[in-house]
């Protein structure tokens, strides 16, 4: 199985800050990396697919990058509604695996 490691596990930032979350795959997954946001008590929501493609309706302050084994999710101009946990997921091979999540709190 491909192991996905996210860092940090949690962070606290202020409204308007730029936040970067890192995801590392245990083997080369090319650009087959997706990002999700899960607000408290809600189902996950797809933000970015194939490393950098923004899902319809997702604000442009979200962006993704990377390739191979190292990937990033960046939120610029952090908003209160960005509170939640963010997960990466590899789409390279079965079984599909997720990172353990990064919890984003607003100061």
Partner 1 sequence: QLQLQESGPGLVKTSETLSLTCSVSGGSIATSNYYWAWIRQPPGEWLEWIGSVFYTGTTYYNPSLMGRVTISVDTSNRQFSLTLRSVAAGDTATYYCARQGIGVSSFAFDIWGQGTKVIASS
Closest contact distance (angstroms) between CB of 62 and partner 1 is 14
* Closer CB to partner 1, 30 or 61, in the complex: 30
Closest contact distance (angstroms) between CB of 57 and partner 1 is 11
CA distance 69 to 33: 10
Backbone dihedral angles phi then psi of residue 24, each to the nearest 5 degrees: -120, 130
* Closer CB to partner 1, 2 or 77, in the complex: 2
Number of alpha carbons in the 13 Å side-chain half-sphere of residue 42? 13
Closest contact distance (angstroms) between CB of 15 and partner 1 is 27
Q: How many other β-carbons are positioned within 10 Å of the β-carbon of residue 89?
A: 18
Q: Are 77 and 57 in contact (CB under 8 A)?
A: no
* Closer CB to partner 1, 17 or 103, in the complex: 103
In the complex, the residues that contact partner 1 under the rule CB under 8 A are: 1, 31-34, 36, 42-46, 49-51, 55, 87, 89, 91-92, 94-101
């Amino acid at each position: 199985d491909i192991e996905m490691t996210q860092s940090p596990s949690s962070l606290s930032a202020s409204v308007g800050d730029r936040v970067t979350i890192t995801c590392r795959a245990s083997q080369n997954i090319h650009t087959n990396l997706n990002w999700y946001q899960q607000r408290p008590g809600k189902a996950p929501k797809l933000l970015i697919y194939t490393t950098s493609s923004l899902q319809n309706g997702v604000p442009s302050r979200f962006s993704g990058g990377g390739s191979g084994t190292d990937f990033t999710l960046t939120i610029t101009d952090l908003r209160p509604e960005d509170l939640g946990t963010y997960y990466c997921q590899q789409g390279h091979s079965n079984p599909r695996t997720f990172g353990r999540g990064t919890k984003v709190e607003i100061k």
